[in-house]
Structure 1
Amino acid sequence: MLVCHILKTKAPEVISVTPSQTMVEVLRLFRENNIGFVVVSRFPGQCLGTLSERDCCNAVAEYGTEAPLMRVADIMNRSVATCSTQDLLPSVMATMTKRRTRHVLVMDGNATVGVVSIGDVVKHRLDELMSNEQVLHDYIAGTGYH
């Protein structure tokens, strides 16, 4: 399965924050949108970095009580895992494993066009497995032929 097929099943919006926002503002955004990852940018499509729940936990571990008021620019991840819309799902899975990340930005040239999360990967792999199981069941039962 191609990344572009996964993006078609998701909301098209990539939620982003600015480098000047504070971690606590981002955490509120996480809660309000039931997410755990944002792109850091100054304008749509741009990516200066990313910020995840893990990045916020690491900031608290390192900076203590100062962390919630720190600017995103000071705690964001600048080494961003990316893929293209034409990459295959196993390639994205390998990137997630190698980079130890739960999110991969989908790029079209220099523009961010989406995010693939570990949840998206699991959902699509599960859908594939269930579809294969149904095909095998139909084959064994002698049904499903036209």
Structure 2
Amino acid sequence: MKTVKHLLDTKQVRIISVSENISVLEALQVMTDKNVSAVLVMENDQLSGIFTERDYARKLILQGKSSKDTLIKEAMTPNPITIKLSDTIDYCMGLMTEKHIRHLPIVENGEVKGMVSIGDVVKFIIADQKQTISQLESYISG
């Protein structure tokens, strides 16, 4: 079984995070600058939440709140669902599907190791399937 560790080995690990005490507008600027749709919210190297484009739409825009006057800690999803390096890719896919989430922070022994998105998981599965097909074709023709 392929694990989160296998997936992380195939991508550049970037931990993009913001503090709880910045404005939503500042967090959105970080997201734009880094071209990501979610950021981890961390205090003292500890994960306290996640802020996504969905949080912005549901907790600010639809509520008529100002992104300049609202702090991230008021708009983030606190205590996000996390995964470990040893979790399987199938487990992650199931979790994302069941919980209707697109991002899973990776936490190992209290330390944030990264984050995977639904896009990362799908790309990894496709690449793994292509490799399996190639190996089977070589075996059959070989």
Q: TM-score, normalised by structure 1?
A: 0.88
Q: Which amino acid aligns with 2:59?
A: A
SS in 1 for 2:86: coil
SS in 2 for 1:25: helix
% identical equivalent positions: 28
Does 2:47 correspond to 1:42? no
Specify the alignment match of 1:32 in structure 2: 33
Does 2:66 correspond to 1:66? yes
Deviation at 1:79, TM superposition (A): 3.9
Q: Which amino acid aligns with 1:4?
A: K
Q: What 5-or-longer segments of structure 1 have no aligned partner? A: none
Specify the alignment match of 2:136 in structure 1: 136
Equivalent residue runs for 1:1-146 within 5 Å:
1-44=2-45, 46-140=46-140, 142-143=141-142
Matches of 1:129 and 1:88, distance apart in 2:
15
Contact 1:37-1:50 within 8 A present in 2 as well: yes
Change (3 A) 1:125 1:22: same
Deviation at 1:68, TM superposition (A): 4.3
Matches of 2:127 and 2:9, distance apart in 1:
15
SS in 2 for 1:86: coil
Bigger helix share? 1
Contact 1:59-1:67 within 8 A present in 2 as well: no
Deviation at 1:65, TM superposition (A): 4.6
SS in 2 for 1:49: strand
Decide which moves more: 101-110 or 128-137. Answer: 128-137
Q: What 5-or-longer segments of structure 2 have no aligned partner? A: none
Deviation at 1:105, TM superposition (A): 1.1
CA-based RMSD of the aligned residues comes to 1.5
Q: Write the deviation string for residues 12-56 of structure 1: whole angstroms up to 9, x where unpaired.
A: 331110111111111111111110111111233x10111011101
Contact 1:60-1:68 within 8 A present in 2 as well: no
Report the count of equivalent residues: 141
Q: Which structure is larger by alpha-carbon Rg, 1 or 2?
A: 1
